[in-house]
Amino acid sequence: MLAPVPRPPGSFALRCSRALLAPRARLSMLALLLLTAAALVVLYEPQRLLSSGWPQQTGGAGAVLLFALAYGVCTAAFVPRPVLNLAAGALFGSAAGLTAAVAGTVLGAGIAFTLGRFLGQDALRPMLRGRWLTAADGQLSRHGFRSMLAIRLFPGVPFAAANYCAAVSRMGYVPFLLATAIGTVPNTAAYVVAGAQADEPGSPAFLFSAGFIVVSGLAAAVVAWRKRHGLRAPAPVVTPEPEPVGAAR
């Protein structure tokens, strides 16, 4: 009688590692990580610490860098960027506040893009079905920089949703981060200036920034409504041309 073939050492560990690295397992890890981050934001409200509890003795370039790092982590954990932008302006002024906010925005976008790319792309790409999803994926994959620049300039698209949609697509890191750095400047600058001039609500800078925020928000709502109406419209029906009489069969 033949003796049973012994299993090679480490086979159980190999199977466990394969199971953990499977697309669905990684997607579950991403969902758990995002839910945990959202719960921590609700419980501890880190945006309040950045806006009102920032140590007064910290200043200079080191404080700007530290704020940018905290901004990036908070943004990746779904803290609203407008609150952080206002805090950056109130704490550091217009120039340094804008630098910290843009750097934090790029950092937070990079964190979310990395998580979505390595933990969610393989599991989510086979689910890209339907008219809207396939159109968005094709646009982001073929025209990454141009599409992401338009999304960042368009204030109606949620920041986190754009990050993870780009991660699931085939867009590269460099176009994504470069478009994020450039496209978020106008809207971010408006909030930062508003935060820096909050103690002078009648100043021209505050009024201009507040007006820009209102106008850009209204424009985003109008464009979103028009795009939604266009997507709801039924696709045109293509009627086949009649075959000529007497055609060969």
Residue 8 pLDDT exceeds 70: no
pLDDT, mean of residues 199-213: 78
The residue-averaged pLDDT of 15-43 equals 79
Measure Cα distances from 77 to 7, 64, 156, 224 in Å.
44, 20, 19, 25
More confidently predicted of 134 and 74? 74
Residue 232, pLDDT above cutoff 60: no
Q: Is the pLDDT of residue 22 over 80?
A: no
Indicate the range of 38-52, 98-112, 122-136, 150-164 predicted with least confidence: 122-136
**pLDDT over 50 (residue 231):** no
Looking at residue 63, its pLDDT comes to 87
C-alpha distances (whole Å) from 215 to each of 124, 187, 207 are: 36, 11, 12
CA distance 243 to 40: 66
Residue, of 216 and 1, whose pLDDT is higher: 216
Joined together, the tokens standing for residue 43 give 């419980």
Cα-based distances in Å from 204 to 37, 82, 161, 176, 185: 38, 20, 34, 34, 20
In the chain, the amino acid numbered 8 is P
Is the pLDDT confidence value at 2 over 70? no
- The model's confidence at residue 243, banded by pLDDT at 50, 70 and 90, is low
Provide the pLDDT confidence category of residue 19 given band limits of 50, 70 and 90: low
Phi, psi of 247 (to 5 degrees): -70, 150
Type of residue at 166: A
Q: How high is the pLDDT of residue 26?
A: 83
Three-state secondary structure call for residue 108? helix
Confidence of residue 106 (pLDDT cuts 50, 70, 90): very high
What does the chain come to in residues? 249
How many C-beta atoms lie closer than 10 Å to residue 79's C-beta? Answer: 21
| pLDDT reading at 199 higher than 80 | no
**What integer pLDDT is reported at residue 53 of this predicted model?**
58
Instruction: Tell me the range of 56-70, 153-167, 174-188 where mean pLDDT is highest.
Output: 174-188
Q: Residue holding tokens 């368009």? A: 154
Where is mean pLDDT largest: 26-40, 44-58, 94-108, 149-163? 94-108
Q: What is the pLDDT of residue 176?
A: 95
pTM of the model: 0.77
pLDDT higher for 85 or 235? Answer: 85
